[in-house]
Amino acid sequence: MTATGMPHRAGFGAGVGRVFRARETGILIAFLAVTAIATGVNPTFVFSTDGWRNLLLTPTLLILLAIGEAMVIITRNVDLSVGSIFGLSAWTCGQVYLAFPHAPIVVIFIVGIVCGALLGLVNGLIVTIAKVPALVVTLGTLYIYRGIAVLWAGSNLIDPDNLPSDFQSLGHTSIWIIPKLTIIAVVVAVIAGWALRNLRAGREMYAIGSDPAAATLYGLRTRRRVLTAFILSGALAGLTGVLFLSYNAGASSQSGSGYELLAVAAAVVGGVAIFGGSGTILGAVIGALLLNTISNALPVVGIPDVWQQAITGALIIAAIILDRVLLLRSTRKLVIAEEASHV
C-alpha cells in the first residue's frame, strides 16, 4: 500500500532538503541580506568594534523575551505582560542593589529570575484555573505589573552610581569577541530549543497548541504544561530585566515598555504559528535578530527610522500570510499524497 518511497529517504540528502524547506532558513536569509546591504552601504555596520558589538549585543534582550514568548505561543496562548515583567524585575533588582550595594551578581540574577517567574506564575494560574483567555489575562497584567512599577518607582531612577562596577561591566565586556550578554542569550536559546525538541514536556507543549481538545482526550497534563510555559516566559522576562539593568546601567518605571509586542512579533516573524502547535526557538531567535537588525540598519542605509515600525508591521503580516499559504499548500500536498497512497 505504501506508494511513498521518498519521505523515507534519510541521510545527507534529506538533511539538506529539510534545511532548505525549513521556515527558519527564509528568515535567516532575510537577516543576512539586511546585514549585507547595511554593510555594503557602510562597512562599519559589521566591521568595527562598535558595529560588531551592536549587531550581537542589542538583540539579546529581545531574543530572551522571544524565546519565552515562543514557548507560550506554541501552547496556543500569548504573553503580553513580558515587557512589564521585564521592567518590574529590573526595578526590583535595582532596589536590591540600593539596599545591599555589595550583593553578589548571582543573587541579583536569582532575584530577577524568581521575580519574573512569580509574575509569570500569576499569569499562568489565571489562564489555567480561571480559564480566561491568555490575551485578556496578560493584557490585564501588562497594566497591573507596570502600575506596580510606577507606584513603586514614581519618577525615581536607578542610575549607574547605584550599581557596582563589576555588574555594569558584565553588560559591556566580551569573552574573545562575543559579548557576555550574547553568550547568556545563546546558552538559554540552546537549552530551550533542545528541551522543546527533545523532552516529553516540550513535545507536549506542541501537542497542546496543535489541538487543545485532543490533548485533553489524550490525557496530557495540559494545565501543568501551560503553567510551565508562562512561568518560563516570566522567568526569562525577569532575566531580561537583569541584563537590561546591567547593560543600560540603570532602570526606571518605564523600562521594558513596548517590548511585549516586539517579542510577539519576533516569534511570529520567526515562524512560530500564532495559533500554536508549530515553530521553533531557533526561529524565534532569528526573528528577534531580524527585527533588531532592521531597526539598526534603517538609519545606516538612509531610511528615516520612522519607517522602522511600518516595516516591522509589514514583516509580521507577511510572516502570517506566509504561514497561512504554507499551511494550505502543505495540507493540499498531504491530502494528495494520502489519496495517492490508497490507489
Partner 1 sequence: MSDEGRVAPPVLLLSQVAKSFGAVVALKNGTLTLEGGSIHALVGENGAGKSTIVKIIAGLYQRDSGEMQLRGETVDFKTTAEAKSAGIAVIYQEPTLFPDLSVTENIFMGRQPVKSLRRIDRAQMRRNALDLFARLGVGIDPDRPARGLSIADQQIIEIAKAISLDARVLIMDEPTAALSGIEVDRLFTIARALRDEGRAIAFISHRFDEIFALCDTITVMRDGEFISSGPIAETSVEIMVRQMVGRDIEQLFPKEPAEIGEPVLEVDRITEPGVFHDITFNVRSGEIVALAGLVGAGRSEVARAIFGVDPYKTGSVKLNGKTVPKRDPASSMRAGIGLVPEDRRGQGLVMGFSVAWNTTLAIRKRLARAGILTPSLENPVAARWASALQVKASALSTEVGTLSGGNQQKVVMAKWLATAPKLLIVDEPTRGIDVGTKSDIHRLISQLAGEGLGVLMISSELPEVLGMADRVLVMHEGRITAELDRADATSESVMFAATHGTAASA
Q: Which residues bind partner 1 (CB under 8 A)?
A: 1-4, 7-8, 198-200, 203-204, 206-207, 209-211, 213-221, 273, 277-278, 330-335, 337-339, 341-342
Nearer to partner 1, 14 or 33 (CB): 14
Grid cell in block for residue 274: 500564532
Grid cell in block for residue 91: 526595578
Nearer to partner 1, 200 or 324 (CB): 200
Nearer to partner 1, 191 or 303 (CB): 191
Nearer to partner 1, 191 or 321 (CB): 191
Q: How many CB atoms sit inside 10 A of residue 186's CB?
A: 15
Helix, strand or coil for residue 252? coil
- Closest to 91 (Cα-Cα) out of 259, 261, 238, 263: 238
In the complex, least distance from residue 273 CB atom to partner 1, rounded to whole angstroms: 8
- Closest to 266 (Cα-Cα) out of 31, 67, 72, 36: 67
Distance between CA atoms of 221 and 104, rounded to whole angstroms?
38
Q: Are strands 174-175 and 178-179 parallel, antiparallel or unpaired?
A: antiparallel
In the complex, least distance from residue 203 CB atom to partner 1, rounded to whole angstroms: 6
Distance between CA atoms of 197 and 264, rounded to whole angstroms?
21
In the complex, least distance from residue 7 CB atom to partner 1, rounded to whole angstroms: 5
In the complex, least distance from residue 285 CB atom to partner 1, rounded to whole angstroms: 20
Q: What is the DSSP letter of 250?
A: -
Sign of CA dihedral 321, 324, 327, 332: negative
Show the DSSP H helices in the chain as ranges.
12-21, 23-41, 49-57, 60-74, 82-99, 105-129, 134-153, 165-170, 180-198, 200-210, 212-218, 222-248, 259-269, 281-300, 307-340
Q: What is the DSSP letter of 4?
A: -
Helix, strand or coil for residue 179? strand
In the complex, least distance from residue 283 CB atom to partner 1, rounded to whole angstroms: 14
Nearer to partner 1, 22 or 139 (CB): 22
In the complex, least distance from residue 195 CB atom to partner 1, rounded to whole angstroms: 10
Nearer to partner 1, 180 or 225 (CB): 225
Distance between CA atoms of 222 and 208, rounded to whole angstroms?
6
Nearer to partner 1, 2 or 155 (CB): 2
Close Cβ partners of 44 (under 8 Å, ≥ 6 residues apart): 50, 51
Nearer to partner 1, 107 or 337 (CB): 337
In the complex, least distance from residue 334 CB atom to partner 1, rounded to whole angstroms: 3
In the complex, least distance from residue 198 CB atom to partner 1, rounded to whole angstroms: 4
